[in-house]
Amino acid sequence: MHETGSRPEAQRKNRYNRAVWQMWSGQPQQALDELEAAEEARPFNLIYVAADPTFAPLRAKPAFWRCYGA
């Protein structure tokens, strides 16, 4: 197996997925923390955060809209 050393980059790009898992685990603050960190990495699926029903409970939080505000 060829190791490219890109593991930290892959972890940054998976922050959206980790936020989903945090929501499913009942940890909305940790999910919000992951989404805030994902803002830096800009994974492709971050464009869905405002429409993804998984994050509906976070939409009532001002911190969510500071990151993804409309």
CB 55 within 8 A of CB 36: no
5/12 Cα distance (integer angstroms) = 13
Task: Provide CB contacts within 8 A for 15, sequence distance 6+.
Answer: 34, 35, 37, 38, 41, 43
pLDDT band of residue 2 (cuts 50, 70, 90) is very low
Residue 70 — very low, low, confident or very high, per pLDDT cuts 50/70/90?
low
Res 1: pLDDT: 42
Q: Quick: pLDDT tens for 10-53.
A: 565 688 899 999 999 999 999 999 988 887 777 778 888 889 99
Give Cβ neighbours of residue 31 (< 8 Å, ≥ 6 apart). 19, 20, 22, 23, 55, 58
